[in-house]
Amino acid sequence: MLKNILDIPFFGAIIRSTWTWRLLRLAMLGLLLVMIAYGWHQHAIPGVDVRDPLMYSNFTTFNLWVLWMMGMVVVAMFLGRSWCTVCPVGWLNGLISRFGLRREMPSWLNNFIPVTLVLVLLQLLVYFFSIHRYPDYTALLLALMVVLALVMGLIYRRRSFCLLFCPAGAVFSLYARLAPWQLRVKEKTVCESCQAKPCVSTEQVWKQASISSLRLNWRTRAEGCPVALVPAAINDSAACTLCLNCVQTCCNDNVSLGFRNWPGDLRQGGLRPSEALFFMVLLGMLTANFAKVYVTLREAIFWPPENLALSLGWDAAGFYPLAMIWVGLLFPLLIMLPGLLIYLVGQVKISTLEGEPDDAPREATATFTLSGFMTLLGQMALPLLPLVLSAHLTLAIVKLNAKFGYLPLALQDPSGVKSFLAINVMQTMPPPGVLIALDILKWVIVVILIVGFALSVAAAWTVAKSEDNGQQKIDRPFFVAALVTLFILSGFYGSTVMEWLFVR
Ligand code: SF4
Ligand code: SF4
């Protein structure tokens, strides 16, 4: 297994070079600007009575919602947060932050709540305006991201945009815990004895460019770690954005980047309380989205908000926020509830007293706190990650399989207008076909979900296992609770796949 790709001759040197990543990030920034340009002012086709004709044929909508959004699930599964290495928005944010006001982020913002709210807001924009169907709305969203990255960079130190506004980064950080890919220091003792610590330094340094006897000197600020990590203290891959600054600045060649064994970071403890909240919202949205193709199940899932809106006499404007609260919070809680109850019942200890119980009044010692509950949810979330990732991967593969064929059209005609007219109005071109026939794809999907379920069971066992004085202990209530939750989730995914691919 390649534990450190930096050791590969030539290839390792390319990975270490700052110029490799500068050029790639610049190319990505160029692509982002081209996407904004091709989406701007493209909403529909005059004279064509179709609501969203450019959804797949336009370069902007196709690139963001099909190629990037779906492709990134596959990337995150294998390479964790590797997209962040080349992400132009995060890079721009980090770059600007070196020259701005450099304020410290307030501690109350340093959690997953802002990014959870952004995820909810994006879903509401999809519900209300179908932003994913229109190039101009998509371009506006991308432009807003760039502006936010610049403004946040001017105010705060480090990559504040990533922390506050990027739900993609938060999703990658969840999946990075499972990915067989990590950045770690080779020897912690080398870091302990390192005096200069250039990997974390943000001091001003002198730089020099020279050509022959001509020299140009200037002072600049060292980049440090854009998310304030200390490489020697990293023990899970969730927060590291793989920007590779520490690889490039380490004066002892003590950082490695490469593959690792499963189960990744699952032994490193549960999700933080606010990250558990993000996970719950993601779980609800993903599961509801998965069930979209099974009409009866979808109607059952949306029955409560639909009927509440009806009974209140609310139209779509009222239904959507209700649907969001239901799908993003209450529905995932309901999925987890049986497992949580089983776990709590498993905590009850019954013992035999010697003699009569004394009548002295006792103080209740069991207390319920929201943060304790969220910590428990964060622990319960860990074993679900492989199954949730497999469901996410299924959605991504289905979408890529059905729509990848639009890529040549989006490249030839970035506005998407001519392609749409040729396919749908003049019918001089057939619509792009699927990559893999559905008869084969359905078995691929079944295998992915079964593997996801099996890995989740293994993850539940791993998380439930602990060591006490050299003795292995299994937290049985936790394991049973995780199994019950896994069966409930698999019920949603399995029944949808059966109905959609095998019955219909
Ligand atoms: S967290 Fe988001 S904005 Fe930041 S680098 Fe990653 S993908 Fe880009
Ligand atoms: S630990 Fe290294 S690679 Fe990770 S974000 Fe910090 S500087 Fe970048």
Would you write out the chain's pLDDT as a tens digit for each of its 504 residues? 789 999 999 999 999 999 999 999 999 999 999 999 999 999 999 999 999 999 999 999 999 999 999 999 999 999 999 999 999 999 999 999 988 999 999 999 999 999 999 999 999 999 999 999 999 999 999 999 999 999 999 999 999 999 999 999 999 999 999 999 999 999 999 999 999 888 988 887 788 888 888 888 888 777 789 999 999 999 899 999 999 999 999 999 999 999 998 888 888 888 999 999 999 999 999 999 999 989 999 999 999 999 999 999 998 889 999 999 999 999 999 999 999 999 999 988 888 887 877 766 666 566 678 888 999 999 999 999 999 999 999 999 999 999 999 999 999 999 999 999 999 999 999 999 999 999 999 999 999 999 999 999 999 999 999 888 888 899 999 999 999 999 999 999 999 999 988 887
160 CA to centre of ligand 1 in angstroms = 10
| pLDDT, position 196 | 87
89 CA to centre of ligand 1 in angstroms = 7
96 CA to centre of ligand 1 in angstroms = 15
DSSP class of residue 105?
P
Taking every pair of Cα atoms in the chain, the longest distance, rounded to a whole number of angstroms, is 95
Is the CB of 115 within 6 Å of ligand 1? no
What distance in Å separates the CA atoms of residue 205 and residue 198, rounded to the nearest whole number? 11
DSSP class of residue 62?
I
pTM above 0.85, yes or no: yes
Is the CB of 241 within 6 Å of ligand 1? yes
406 CA to centre of ligand 2 in angstroms = 36
456 — phi, psi (to 5°)? Answer: -65, -40
- Report which residue type is found at 236: D
- DSSP assignment of 5-46: GGGSTTHHHHHH-HHHHHHHHHHHHHHHHHHHHHHTT----T
Strand ranges for 157-213 from DSSP E: 181-185, 204-211
> In the chain, what is the straight-line distance between the N-terminal and C-terminal CA atoms, in Å?
43
Is the CB of 227 within 6 Å of ligand 2? yes
Q: How far is CA 395 from each of CA 22, 70, 289, rounded to the nearest angstrom?
A: 32, 8, 9
Please give the structure tokens belonging to residue 113: 């709540």
Which of 4, 162, 246 is the best mutation target for the ligand 2 pocket, counting ligand atoms within 8 Å of the beta carbon and taking the most? 246
161 CA to centre of ligand 1 in angstroms = 8
- Its sign, for the CA torsion 90, 383, 481, 462, is negative
258 CA to centre of ligand 2 in angstroms = 14
CA atoms within 13 A on the CB side of 400: 15
Is the CB of 90 within 6 Å of ligand 1? yes
Please state the atom number of ligand 2 nearest to the C-alpha of residue 227. Answer: 5
Q: What is the dihedral of CA 407, 409, 415, 416, to 10 degrees?
A: -110
217 — phi, psi (to 5°)? Answer: -110, 145
Burial class of residue 488, CB neighbours in 10 A (0-12, 13-18, 19+): middle
Is the CB of 91 within 6 Å of ligand 1? no
Is the CB of 231 within 6 Å of ligand 2? yes
| pLDDT, position 366 | 61
CA geometry: angle 430, 433, 436, nearest 5 deg: 165
Please state the atom number of ligand 1 nearest to the C-alpha of residue 87. Answer: 8
Is the CB of 166 within 6 Å of ligand 1? yes
Is the CB of 239 within 6 Å of ligand 2? no
Please state the atom number of ligand 2 nearest to the C-alpha of residue 244. Answer: 3
Query: DSSP 3-state assignment of 365?
Result: coil
273 CA to centre of ligand 2 in angstroms = 23
Q: What is the dihedral of CA 175, 179, 183, 186, to 10 degrees?
A: 140
The residue nearest atom 7 of ligand 2, judged by CA position, is 225
| Closest alpha carbon to 334 in 294, 390, 293, 287 | 287
Is the CB of 92 within 6 Å of ligand 1? no
